[in-house]
A and B are shown apart, each in its own frame.
Chain A
Amino acid sequence: MVINRRQLSTIFERFHTALLALSCVDRKSFPSLSAQSTILFNNRNVIHSARQFSSKETVTITYVDPSGDEHPVEAEVGQHLLDVAHAKNIELEGACGGELACSTCHLIFDKDVYDTLPPKSDEEEDMLDLAFELTETSRLGCQIRVTKEFDGIKVRIPNDGY
């Protein structure tokens, strides 16, 4: 039987709800379960996120915010740059939750890094068309996974004037 992502997410959710109901678990007292439920909320990529627990390799990536301030963070290899930003409290919107239905996670790369990135799908290009302050080295953060080669790179969050 072919099962789609949403159905899988629904199944995980129902299991999780049942677990919570049975054990009357308070998220506060069970931080590891909190992390789990946060991951289950990430409808976009349940399987990928579950894998995150086992992968510990990290590289240093610096997010440069619109005012020019730099925020270096330890990013897990394999995670999408949008998820890294949210995990590390960097202010980057991701209105559609990473499903290529908006351009709010738009990031600007240095040319040499941009050239090494995997090619854009039509769908990513379509959304980039609507991005504010689009550049020649722009990509959507929800489509770019951290690799080992990203160690030391800087990514810029476009300046919307505020």
Chain B
Amino acid sequence: MARPSLRSFVESRSYSTHDSCTVGKRRLHNSAAVTDSPITHGRRRLRAVVVGSGPSGFYTAKYLTSSVNKRIAADRETATSSSSSSTSSSSWPFSGIDIDILERLPTPYGLVRYGVAPDHPEVKNVENDFAAVPGNTHSRAHGGGTVSYFGNVDVGRHVSLSTLSALYDVVVLAYGCQSDRGLTIPGLDLRGVLTARQFVNWYNGHPEFGYVADIVREALWDRDGNNAGDVDDADNGAISKAKAVVIGNGNVALDCARILAKGRRGLKDTDVPSSVLDVLGDGVEKVVVVGRRGHVQGAFTIKELRELTKLQKEGYDVSFRVRQEELDMGMTEASLQELQLASGRPKMRIDALLREAAATTEEEGEGDHEAPTKTIELRLLMNPIRIESNNNRNNPRVHHVIFERTQLQGEPGKQLSVGTGQYEKISADLVILSVGYKGSPLEGMNENMFDSQRGIVVNNQGKVCGDNNLFVVGWIKRSPTGIIGSNIMDAKETVASIMKYIDSNPQNLLALHEDSDDDLSKGSRGLIRHLEANNVKYVTWDQFLQIDQAERDRDRLRNDVQPREKFLSVDEMLACLQSTC
């Protein structure tokens, strides 16, 4: 969809003196407090920096802006309505706010760009909300203030956390999770074993995951390692006979299965990179998604499950199978009670959906010539024990996974999967481990600040513990759970902590010092000086819009409906800005 570029085209026309609070629908409820009174509090604007431009970073910038504006408006009302002079300790000491959003890649949006599956474009609509955030936080008549974007800036490498702490009043860490939750079983380093994070980043075209292509191509088309021309099959619309096993029961696991099964014909109209389609061919014949516990405990949600049950009807040539007996085995007394809890309503619907799918699976007999060629099967109550190889010394790679049948034991809400001593071997040419992302500490972060067991920064409602001006939001604050919308409440909580911090630290606030908005050693100006001194080619919002527009250039697209053909390397993105892309 060309919406962001059209907006940029329109917005680039003479808004410098116009209050951009009235631009577009979204901006309207961003600017809570543009009033007519020319009174400005304090001598300068608050300077905040957000590290990371995914949903948590953008929602934080959005709600911090509106909180500050509401606060300033409320203070004005108090000032004009009270007869005696208002006590300075309760009034907001800043005249507005400037927020800088830093992002390691040239392009923003985090997991919305590199996590959300290409066949879920409606989920990416939230980018429109985010695109409305950079720009004015406050009209010029009332002290100005901007949200600025700095892409291609690596915090830790290009600028240190301690430098940011000194340049800004408030630093918000929103950098998400860069690593994987571990599964300690033998065979993880066999060729053909990937984590979901690697696989998802690759099929979404992340610049740092191009290497995954060869692993997937080999698994799908060259399992014997003899390069027997199989790779051409990918282009000729062949379906790979490889067996893929996805370990995990969340929505990410379902995404991996669906992308593998859909293949080129199912994905050609999406924003999946063409080079990915070249590797997938027309998809994989059999994908097995395996969960350790039962379906009631699975982390997947019903929308994604329902989508799998509809693939056949919608013409993707993929059937969905689940075994009645595994649903029954998972329905222990405790599971039944879990369904009765308040949180059980969604699970009850999942149970009904899967039982219906199981019944359909039973009905499909052998030799049904109408049956789809490809299958996604959901297996439950199976714990991965070992990943084993083909024992080929010349071409060692994964061959199968050994699972142990489990049964659920324990109280409702706390059931554990316990081994039963029965084992099953599932063939696998490609194994994808989808058991969760994990956070890592930022370079230069104090050891005490990070909880390495949980993979999060130690915090209290978003304020990083200790004597500092650091805050966290998103997955690096609460661990990698939830959906894009979960960041709304999360951001609001962190913003409330920021407001509380400022209200309770009037003496520390730089507002009382001599510096002003124009101070070259602080905030955006200080950052730019630092980056330029270190030769960092940062990317501005307008420059990102150029990259965005270039990705949607008709000459790049494989058909009329493909939304964009992503650039697969940072160099290509930066080349755009020199007009050589």
Q: Which residues of A contact B (CB under 8 A)?
A: 6-7, 9-10, 13-14, 16-17, 20, 26-28, 37-38, 41-43, 86-87, 89-93, 95-97, 99-104, 122-123, 125-127, 129-130, 132, 134, 160-162
Given contacts A10-B2, A86-B28, A89-B29, contact A28 B125 (CB under 8 A): no
Chain B nearest Cβ from A73, distance in angstroms? 13
Given contacts A10-B2, A96-B125, A162-B493, contact A104 B14 (CB under 8 A): no
Extra contacts besides A93-B488, A96-B126, A129-B349 (20): CB < 8 Å:
A9-B1, A10-B2, A13-B3, A17-B6, A20-B10, A27-B10, A38-B24, A41-B25, A43-B125, A93-B485, A96-B122, A100-B122, A102-B483, A126-B301, A129-B346, A130-B485, A132-B489, A160-B488, A160-B489, A161-B489
In the assembled complex, the Cα of A26 lies from the Cα of B563 at a distance in Å of 27
Q: Which residues of B contact A (CB under 8 A)?
A: 1-3, 6-7, 9-10, 13-15, 18, 24-26, 28-29, 120, 122-123, 125-126, 128-129, 301-303, 306, 345-346, 349, 483-485, 488-489, 492-493, 495-496, 560-561
A13 and B2 form a contact (CB under 8 A): yes
Pick the 10 closest A-B CB pairs, nearest first: A129-B346, A99-B122, A97-B125, A162-B492, A101-B122, A95-B126, A126-B303, A126-B302, A101-B123, A160-B489
In the assembled complex, the Cα of A74 lies from the Cα of B7 at a distance in Å of 28
B14 and A26 form a contact (CB under 8 A): yes
Among B129, B303, B346, B492, which residue has its beta carbon within 8 angstroms of that of A95? B129
In the assembled complex, the Cα of A102 lies from the Cα of B59 at a distance in Å of 15
A27 and B485 form a contact (CB under 8 A): no
Among A43, A96, A161, which residue has its beta carbon within 8 angstroms of that of B1? A43
In the assembled complex, the Cα of A90 lies from the Cα of B3 at a distance in Å of 23
Chain A nearest Cβ from B5, distance in angstroms? 9
A130 and B6 form a contact (CB under 8 A): no
B128 and A125 form a contact (CB under 8 A): no
For B15, the chain A residues whose CB sits under 8 A away are 28
For B485, the chain A residues whose CB sits under 8 A away are 93, 95, 102-104, 130
A162 and B489 form a contact (CB under 8 A): yes
Chain A nearest Cβ from B445, distance in angstroms? 27
A96 and B489 form a contact (CB under 8 A): no
Given contacts A86-B25, A86-B28, A126-B302, contact A37 B6 (CB under 8 A): yes
For B301, the chain A residues whose CB sits under 8 A away are 126, 129-130
Q: Which residue of A lies closest to B13 (CB)?
A: A26
B18 and A28 form a contact (CB under 8 A): yes
Give the dominant DSSP class at A's interface.
loop
A41 and B492 form a contact (CB under 8 A): no
Chain A nearest Cβ from B34, distance in angstroms? 11
B25 and A6 form a contact (CB under 8 A): no
B9 and A17 form a contact (CB under 8 A): yes
For B492, the chain A residues whose CB sits under 8 A away are 160-162
For A103, the chain B residues whose CB sits under 8 A away are 485
B349 and A95 form a contact (CB under 8 A): no
In the assembled complex, the Cα of A26 lies from the Cα of B122 at a distance in Å of 30
B484 and A102 form a contact (CB under 8 A): yes
Q: Which residue of B lies closest to A27 (CB)?
A: B10
In the assembled complex, the Cα of A151 lies from the Cα of B28 at a distance in Å of 25
Q: Which residue of A lies closest to B489 (CB)?
A: A160
Chain A nearest Cβ from B483, distance in angstroms? 7
Q: Which residue of A lies closest to B23 (CB)?
A: A27
For A6, the chain B residues whose CB sits under 8 A away are 1, 561
Chain B nearest Cβ from A45, distance in angstroms? 13
Chain B nearest Cβ from A155, distance in angstroms? 16
In the assembled complex, the Cα of A89 lies from the Cα of B13 at a distance in Å of 24
Given contacts A97-B125, A160-B489, A161-B489, contact A41 B18 (CB under 8 A): no
A16 and B6 form a contact (CB under 8 A): yes
Chain B nearest Cβ from A108, distance in angstroms? 16
In the assembled complex, the Cα of A142 lies from the Cα of B89 at a distance in Å of 43
B14 and A90 form a contact (CB under 8 A): no
In the assembled complex, the Cα of A12 lies from the Cα of B306 at a distance in Å of 33
Q: Can you give 11 contacting A-B residue pairs, CB < 8 Å? A: A10-B560, A16-B6, A38-B25, A41-B25, A89-B28, A91-B29, A97-B128, A101-B122, A104-B485, A129-B302, A132-B489
A95 and B125 form a contact (CB under 8 A): yes
